[in-house]
Structure 1
Amino acid sequence: MKFVKIPGGSFMMGSNSGGSNEKPVHRVTLKPFMMQTTEVTQAQWKALMEKNTSRFKGNNLPVERVFWNDCQEFIKKLNQRYPGKGYRLPTEAEWEYACQAGTTTKYYSGNSESDLKRVAWYDGNSGNKTHPVGKRRPNVWGLYDMHGNVWEWCEDWYHYNYNGAPTNGSAWLSPSGAYRILRGGSWNYGAYSCRSAVRDYSNPSYRGSNFGFRLVRSP
């Protein structure tokens, strides 16, 4: 697994031109962290887990059809094998900050669908399947496939808007949450759903063939 250091800083989270769950736009300030350059692959998954339930099989394809608790079991085993690294899912704020990489456009590559096509596998170019990780253009921080390929699980519970959201980059948790956050869009979603600010969510026990994840760890 390859990780890059994401520098600390502030950014404006959310979008005034998106859905109601992307509002209000608010400033978030984060400390540095390390993020995996690609989505977790099936080869990486199989090195620790007994079953690969992915629909589309291939060692360098992103693992998918994993529910949120599957990800936590993988992370637990990874931390046991490599103690002190602090592997975990990204918070929603960390994910959006890392995806934007200092940009303010719809995608880290620009605002148009042609800009998206250069960096993402989505319903306009995927051929209705996932693709090997790291084959499209990365953002300036060296992160691949932040747009498209598979939706990526985050640590947070889903809230219907950003009123009361943390402003320090921490996970927004809830004692009575029902859904976990997914980010980034996927191979079978349109360009609008692949924007940096788009938020999706799912029951944490649902396995979708467009649900995957990537990791963060301590710097």
Structure 2
Amino acid sequence: MPKNLLPVKSWNNQDEAFTNVAQGIRSAAEKLIKERQKKREIKEAAIAEYRQKAEYFASDGKISFLELDILNDLQEKLGLADSETSAIRKNALDSYTIYKQKIATYRLSLINFIHEQGYPLDENAETELKQFQQHYKLKDEDVVRIRKEQEAKLFTENLGNGVVLEIVPIPGGKFLMGSPYNEPERYDSESPQHTVTIQPFFMGKFPVTQSQWAIVAALEKVNIDLNPDPSGFKGANRPVECVSWDDAIEFCARLSNKTGKTYRLPSEAEWEYACRAGTTTPFYFGETITTNLANYDGNYTYNSGSKGEYREQTTDVGKFPPNPFGLFDMHGNIWEWCQDTWHKNYNKAPADGSPWMSENHNRLLRGGSWYHFPRYCRSGHRAWIARVGRKNLVGFRVVVAASLRTY
């Protein structure tokens, strides 16, 4: 072997000769392996870059001429062969077709699964769906989109004449009902705080509107007559008001007959649970309230808040931001009837979310109104009037039983 740039003519012994020769071969081989590995890595990186761009362009099921021009430029830059790039493009388009077939399978399976299981799905059912998604290797964003599409169909009640009733799924859970002793401007009727367990249910996204009321009021009578246009502040998308507790019960009965579902008023516990939506502050948006967030008498403030607008009337539903459950107008605009009769505090209140009934004729109101101070709009505030009372600051929203199986 050459040493010091001079040819080697002899070794001290045969072992030294073999060792030098072996070392030389190994060094040359390692250098060759590294060079090949580097070339392989460069090629793999080039193919990966081209594949990523091709899959992006193929994500709508086709690769346009302009996109193909871009891919051709990229191919030249990366030094890829035509056979390599054409195979990548074909695989990208084939993968799109296969993926779309998997999406279609998932959508159909989801519809059948909800029809069989009822909605909302319990924990076991959600686990099964997650395993189904993983089996088909579906992207989270596609699954979320499909579920939203199906839920939109599931949770929209078509009342006719272009009027719909939108329903929001409320997950089950536990919460602390009532207000803490240190909450500003609270009342003793909001005590004692107690843990309540709520089963899943569905709630109207908005208070019942005047257009919804008019259609249902025209349906066949169940127990009592209904005024088709009772509200003082007129507007198809404003909440219906000047309706008694018995009027609201009749509305639910007629709607149940029309749809085959069980519509009712929320229990007081369900209403507060839905309003709070996992929050513990006086309002679902925080420690204070402004008239940019709700409709109430803005001449008055709460907890260092600022004064605002006093509109002196109801506003269209959905004007203000929703809570984390997607419910609108839970604070202000109109008081909302609950099923429960009035009790002066929570001593011996049920812990399972059921309505708390007694012999008196006073019924629960929740949420505050356009007319009242901000303190009355708090999540934990309670009020009442007689069940026959009809005021232009009292309306309601509906609840649906948990198992919705009809699309």
Instruction: Tell me which interval the TM-score lies in, with the shorter structure as reference length.
Output: over 0.9
Give the drift of 1:195.
0.2
Please state how far the C-alpha of 1:42 moved relative to its aligned partner: 0.1
2:169 is aligned with 1:5: yes
**2: CA distance between counterparts of 1:113 and 1:51?**
34
Shift in Å, 1:126: 4.3
Query: After superposition, where does 1:1-219 map in structure 2 within 5 Å?
Result: 1-15=165-179, 16=181, 17=183, 18-49=186-217, 50-83=227-260, 85-114=261-290, 117-124=291-298, 125-174=309-358, 176-219=359-402
Distance in 2 between the 1:147 and 1:183 partners?
Answer: 9
CA–CA separation in structure 2 for the residues paired with 1:199 and 1:112:
18
Return the alpha-carbon distance in structure 1 between the equivalents of residues 289 and 212 of structure 2. Answer: 31
Q: Contact 1:64–1:212 at 8 Å: present in 2 too?
A: yes
For residues 2-29 of structure 1, give each alpha carbon's deviation from its aligned partner in whole angstroms, at most 9, with x where no partner exists. Answer: 1111000000000123211000000001
Instruction: Give the fraction of aligned pairs with identical amino acids, expressed as a percent.
Output: 48
Is the contact made by 2:277 and 2:284 (CA closer than 8 Å) also made in structure 1? yes
CA shift at 1:51, angstroms?
2.1
For 1:26-57, what per-residue CA distance to the aligned partner results, in whole angstroms no more than 9, with x for missing partners?
A: 00011100010100000000002152110001
Cα separation, 1, equivalents of 2:292 and 2:208? 21
Q: Indicate if the aligned counterparts of 1:64 and 1:210 stay in contact, CA closer than 8 A.
A: yes
Alignment partners' CA distance in 2, 1:53 and 1:105: 35
2:331–2:367: 8 Å Cα contact kept in structure 1?
Answer: yes
Q: Find the aligned partners of 2:267 and 2:216 in 1 and give their Cα distance.
A: 23
Preserved CA contact (<8 Å) 1:79 1:86: yes
Q: Provide the C-alpha distance between the structure 2 equivalents of 1:140 and 1:32, rounded to a whole number of angstroms.
A: 16
Q: Which has the higher helix share?
A: 2
Structure with a larger share of its residues in strand:
1
Larger Rg: 2
Q: Does the CA-based 8 Å contact 1:119-1:145 persist in structure 2?
A: no
Is residue 29–residue 169 contact of structure 1 (8 Å, CA) maintained in 2?
yes
RMSD: 0.9
Q: How many residues align?
A: 215
Q: Which structure's relative contact order is higher, taking Cα pairs within 8 Å and 6+ residues apart?
A: 1
| In 2: Cα distance, 1:215 partner to 1:178 partner | 20
1:44-75 deviation per Cα after TM superposition (whole angstroms, max 9, x unaligned):
00002152110001100000000000001111
Give yes or no for contact 1:119–1:138 (8 Å, CA) kept in 2. no
Structure 1: gaps spanning 5 or more residues = none
The residue type equivalent to 2:198 in the other structure is L
Calculate the TM-score normalised by the size of structure 1.
0.96
Output one character per residue of 1:122-170: Cα deviation in whole Å (capped at 9) or x when no partner: 1113410000001100001100000000000000000000000000000
Q: Is the 8 A contact 2:294 2:329 kept in 1?
A: yes
> Structure 2 length normalisation: TM-score?
0.52
Q: Output the CA distance in 1 between the equivalents of 2:230 and 2:310.
A: 20
